[in-house]
Amino acid sequence: MPASPAAEAVVDCAVYVDGRRLAGKYTHEAAVAEVRERGEGFVWLGLLAPDEEQMAGVATTFGLHELAVEDAVQAHQRPKLERYDDLLFLVLRTVVYIPRDSRVAINDVVETGEIMVFVGDDFVVTVRHGDHTGLSTVRADLENNPERLALGPSAVVHAIADHVVDSYLDVTASIEDDVDSMEEAVFRPRTKVSIEHIYLLKREIIELRKSVNPLSNPLLRLARRSASPIPKEIRRFFGDVLDHHTIVAERIAQYDELLGSLVDAALAKVSVQQNTDMRKISAWVALAAVPTMVAGIYGMNFGNMPAVDWEYGYHVVLGLIAVVIIGLVITFKRNHWL
């Protein structure tokens, strides 16, 4: 089978000079040649789920490190920042909130994806995995802000990181509504709560934490001088992204703790309901035991039985049974067993 051309995985490829996109369509080879011939500007190449053959051609053109290329193809990476000489390799996990009316079939609250970013002196290569990881709005916003885009490839990295972390804020805000609804249901009187729903939400919070929390260290490094070639102007912006990420991490920790408390509360509520049901069952058994006991005694057919030969014996026994049962019913109701 012939190798797939890299163009099949290319979503967009553009050359930017002084913050403005040059007209025309470029292959990644032609774009790199254009920038290096001019001696200014940079290339932004966007790829969607490339395979090994497609990525190999891109790696050759841009001089990408083979270990980073392997990670970009295989995906399923934790958020991280790696440096290979003058090349930075950033991995971000993306998350998207799934509305309640869409969860019946997939049984998920959040869906994850990945964005890998290769950053060099005169290029940015973004590799995306997942249906919701589009960067078209990020590219459009940057193209509408030439001054920011003129700062070079690092401005693109910041815009992508800012976009991803802002999506975390949106997702956690939506999850907060779910947690609040779950909390209200658990503590609402006379309602039955499915603990499975709480477990589902807690599982998704754990998945969200694994996607979000590891990003703190890469963002911290990008905000510091150690992450050269990130210029000083962009490092300041990464500090703001790091602040937003901290807010998200705190929210996730809060939700995780609250859901743990809701599990305990729901289990306690189920236990109380089971105790109530057992009291009711026990009360009905006690009521049924009275006539059963009397019938059992008189069913032994001894010759000398109390009131057997009495004309009104049958009626007296029935009346005694009724009095005992009525007394038990009154007692059980006063003690809320019935």
Do residue 231 and residue 325 come from a single domain? no
Residues 78 and 167 occupy one common structural domain: yes
> Average of pLDDT values for 284-297?
82
pTM of the model: 0.79
**Backbone conformation region of residue 307, classed left if phi is above 0, alpha if psi is from -120 to 50, else beta:** left
Pair (190, 320) in one structural domain: no
Three-state DSSP at 47 gives: strand
Helix axes 195-212, 232-298, angle to 10 degrees: 160
Residues 155, 216, 178, CA angle at the centre, nearest 5°?
105
Choose one of 269, 293, 321: the last residue of a domain.
269
Query: Same domain, yes or no, for 265 and 308?
Result: no
228 & 153 share domain:
yes
Distance CA 152, CA 142 (A): 11
How does residue 243 score in pLDDT terms, banded at 50, 70 and 90?
very high
State which of 213, 240, 269 marks the end of a domain: 269
**274 falls within a domain:** no
State the residue for tokens 């909390």: 183
> Which residues neighbour 194 within 8 Å (Cβ) at sequence distance 6 or greater?
none
Looking at the fold, whether 179 and 299 belong to one and the same domain comes out as no
DSSP 139-179: HHHHHT-HHHHTT-HHHHHHHHHHHHHHHHHHHHHHHHHHH
Same domain, 265 and 283: no
Full residue range of the structural domain in which residue 319 is found: 279-334
> Own/partner pairs for 140-145, CB < 8 Å, 24+ apart?
143/20, 143/21, 145/19
153, 85 Cβ separation under 8 angstroms: no
pLDDT for res 2 = 47
User: Higher-confidence residue: 93 or 278?
Assistant: 93
**In this structure, are 78 and 133 located in the same domain?**
yes
Whether residue 171 sits in one domain with residue 32: yes
Mean pLDDT of 286-311: 76
In this prediction, residues 242-246 reach a mean pLDDT of 95
Q: Is residue 288 part of a domain?
A: yes
Whichever domain contains 306, its CATH number is: 1.20.58.340
Q: Is residue 225 part of a domain?
A: yes
- Answer yes or no: is pLDDT of 74 > 70: yes
> Once rounded to an integer, what is the mean pLDDT over residues 48-74?
92
Q: Do the domain assignments include residue 86?
A: yes
Bridging pattern class, strands 20-21 and 10-17: antiparallel
- Among 4-8, 100-104, 228-232, which stretch is predicted with the lowest mean pLDDT? 100-104
**Is residue 1 assigned to a domain?**
no
Number of domains making up the chain: 2
> What is the per-residue DSSP string for 238-269?
HHHHHHHHHHHHHHHHHHHHHHHHHHHHHHHH
Check whether residue 137 and residue 221 sit in a common domain: yes
CA distances (Å), origin 285, targets 282, 332, 337 = 5, 12, 12
CATH code for the domain of 193: 3.30.460.20
Residue 156: inside a domain, yes or no?
Answer: yes
Report the chain's terminal Cα–Cα distance, integer Å. Answer: 76
> Of 269, 289, 322, which residue constitutes the final position of a domain?
269
Q: Say which residue the tokens 């976009």 belong to.
A: 163
- pLDDT, tens digit (0-9, with 9 covering 90-100), for 2-26: 444 677 889 999 999 999 999 999 9
- Asked if 147 and 292 sit in the same domain, the reply is no
14 and 79 fall within a common domain: yes
How far is CA 146 from each of CA 137, 139, 182, 320, rounded to the nearest angstrom? 15, 11, 46, 97
For residue 1, the model assigns a pLDDT of 39
Q: What is the pLDDT of residues 168-216, one digit of tens each?
A: 999 999 999 989 988 888 888 777 777 888 888 888 899 899 999 999 9
Give me 105's structure tokens: 């079939």
